[in-house]
Amino acid sequence: MKSFRKELWFNVPTRRAFINITPLVEECVRESGIRDGLLLCNAMHITASVFINDDEAGLHADFERWLEQLAPEHPHRQYRHNDTGEDNADAHLKREIMGRGVVVAITDGKLDFGPWEQIFYGEFDGMRPKRVLVKIIGQ
């Protein structure tokens, strides 16, 4: 069995963003040389997510609006976490909703996606360097 590990770095210039990282993850699969196995991809920060969904701008606007309804950024003082001097309580909550990461099967050297599936990095507290882990096992 082969094993592959790589960190993908992001420094998103806005507080929140959704970035399609599928091409970067596909590059990891090629680099690994693994033809049949499992790929894990997860945010390494507790204010960011990795999730799978459609690459459609309207849907991303819907996610943003929905998350802001569930966990609005402002006012910062509404959150106990921000009593510590931080301002990112909403980002922790948004990450919890959108998830930590995903597992995708690799078949014939490719991500074995269903229709329209793409992998996204969800940033909820950006403007600083943050990492995503890609781990692949298989043969």
Indicate whether 88 belongs to the interface with Zn ion (CB under 5 A): yes
Question: Nearer Cβ to Zn ion, position 76 or 135?
Answer: 76
End-to-end CA distance of the chain: 5
Of 118, 115, 128, nearest to 48 (Cα)?
128
Task: Kindly state the smallest distance separating residue 31's Cβ from Zn ion, in Å.
Answer: 33
Residue whose CB is less far from Zn ion, 29 or 95: 95
Task: Using CB under 5 A, count the residues that bind Zn ion.
Answer: 2
- Count of C-beta atoms within a 10 Å radius of residue 91: 26
Residue 86 interacts with Zn ion (CB under 5 A)? yes
Residue pair 129/6 in contact by the 8 Å Cβ criterion: no
CB of 86 to Zn ion, least distance (A): 4
